[in-house]
């Protein structure tokens, strides 16, 4: 059954950033159009609040899946009252900076009017690296500190630690610290800005060789998973640093991880989420603009994108 035609507004980066083969926001737009909806594009800086109404200077999304150079272009402009549209998808890429925080605070004004996915409060609360640490039974041993001695001792006792910036993404700044690394002191000094900035230090999981699984979740249920394998030259498996992608099953260990976090995700309005699982351990909960949907569709031959849009249609009916 097709839902009545709705306005679906996607807040995301500019159309020039879209690669049709890999862009999840684009994938959601494709699915929304396929379901007969009117799809609108707008950037974060085009959201405003006027006499209590949240507005978007949006453009109609013109979608051409076959185009390799401009799969998404902007059509007619419109000044939309977001309180009157069907749903708003929040998809700008990190960083989570002050502008992003302010975006979520503006979108809070839509509570009770329009479904916003993911919920602005959830986006504020769920730091992608730190949220996972609420579930120590499914995360690797991890500390968060700016203290150099503490970080070195941790790398020593764990036999190697992965150090990550709290606000990082795409593998940027993620470093493997070996206990005997002659650069160790300098790495810690640099990453903590001389002891001023806490970083995440996590036990190095050698199983990362066999891949970092991205599991996409819809309202706490798995849509499917893809496996990102690192190249021989890097332990980081991120696609943007050269990791390869293949189809993979959601297994028992993954289901344990999902069962542990699903109630919390639901309570926080984190409807469309990508979790990273290495060797059965949760390493990250991506909530701002999780990726992998296009690759999942292609590799699994399923339509998780339509599942997301159909979920939204049901949420609107509720």
Q: Which residues form the interface with ligand ADP (CB under 6 A)?
A: 140, 162, 164, 168-172, 174, 202-205, 208, 212, 230, 235-238, 276, 278, 283-284
Bridge partner residues of 221 (DSSP): 218
Q: Is 128 a catalytic residue?
A: no
Q: Is 129 a catalytic residue?
A: yes
C-beta separation of 55 from 48 below 8 A: yes
* Whole-number Å distance between alpha carbons of 251 and 210: 15
Which CB, 33 or 124, lies closer to ligand ADP? Answer: 124
Q: Is beta strand 199-203 parallel, antiparallel or unpaired with respect to 142-145?
A: antiparallel
Closest distance to Mg ion from the beta carbon of 276 (Å): 5
Residue 276 interacts with Mg ion (CB under 5 A)?
yes
Query: Locate tokens 């970083």: which residue?
Result: 199
Q: What tokens does 241 get?
A: 């640093």
Closest distance to Mg ion from the beta carbon of 171 (Å): 7
Instruction: Please calculate the CA angle 309-315-318 and round it to the nearest 5 degrees.
Output: 150
Instruction: Please calculate the CA angle 98-100-105 and round it to the nearest 5 degrees.
Output: 95
Residue spans of beta strands (DSSP E) within 66-129? 72-81, 87-90, 116-117
Closest distance to ligand ADP from the beta carbon of 232 (Å): 13
* Whole-number Å distance between alpha carbons of 35 and 215: 24
Closest distance to ligand ADP from the beta carbon of 134 (Å): 16
Which CB, 128 or 268, lies closer to ligand ADP? Answer: 128
Which residue among the candidates 276, 305, 307, 313 is catalytic per the annotation?
276
Contact of residue 236 among Mg ion, ligand ADP, none (CB under 5-8 Å per partner type): ligand ADP
Residue 128 interacts with Mg ion (CB under 5 A)?
no
Helix runs in 38-193, H state only: 98-107, 120-125, 148-158, 184-191
Residue 305 interacts with Mg ion (CB under 5 A)?
no
Residue 284 interacts with Mg ion (CB under 5 A)?
yes
The DSSP call for residue 36 is T
Stretch that binds Mg ion, among 3-11, 70-78, 279-287, 299-307 (CB under 5 A): 279-287
Task: By CB under 5 A, name the binding residues for Mg ion.
Answer: 276, 284
Q: Residues with catalytic annotation? A: 129, 164, 214, 229, 236, 276, 284, 286
């Amino acid at each position: 059954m097709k839902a009545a035609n709705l306005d679906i507004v996607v807040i995301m980066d500019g159309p020039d950033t879209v690669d049709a083969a890999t862009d999840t926001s684009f994938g959601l737009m494709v699915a929304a159009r396929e379901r007969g909806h009117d799809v609108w594009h707008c950037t974060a800086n085009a959201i405003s609040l006027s006499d209590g109404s949240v507005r978007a200077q949006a453009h109609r999304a013109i979608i051409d899946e076959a185009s390799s150079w401009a799969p998404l272009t902007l059509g007619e402009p419109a000044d939309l009252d977001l309180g009157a549209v069907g749903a708003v998808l929040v998809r700008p890429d990190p960083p989570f900076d002050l502008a992003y925080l302010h975006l979520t605070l503006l979108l809070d004004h839509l509570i009770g009017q329009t479904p916003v996915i993911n919920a602005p409060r959830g986006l504020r609360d769920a730091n992608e690296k730190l949220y996972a640490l609420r579930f120590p039974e499914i995360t690797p041993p991890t500390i968060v500190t700016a203290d150099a001695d503490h970080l070195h001792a941790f790398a020593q006792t764990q036999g190697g630690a992965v150090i990550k910036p709290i606000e990082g993404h795409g593998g940027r700044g993620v470093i493997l610290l070996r206990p005997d690394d002659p650069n160790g002191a300098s790495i810690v000094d640099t990453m903590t800005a001389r002891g001023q900035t806490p970083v995440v230090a996590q036990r190095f999981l050698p199983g990362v060789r066999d891949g970092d699984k991205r599991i996409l979740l819809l309202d706490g249920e798995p849509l499917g998973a893809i496996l990102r394998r690192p190249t021989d030259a890097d332990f980081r498996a991120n696609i943007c640093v050269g990791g390869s992608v293949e189809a993979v099953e959601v297994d028992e260990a993954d289901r344990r991880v999902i069962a542990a976090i699903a109630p919390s995700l639901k309570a926080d309005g984190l409807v469309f989420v990508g979790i990273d699982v290495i060797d059965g351990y949760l390493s990250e909960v991506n909530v701002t603009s999780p990726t992998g949907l296009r690759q999942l569709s292609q590799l699994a031959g399923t339509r998780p994108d339509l599942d997301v849009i159909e979920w939204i249609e049901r949420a609107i009916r509720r």
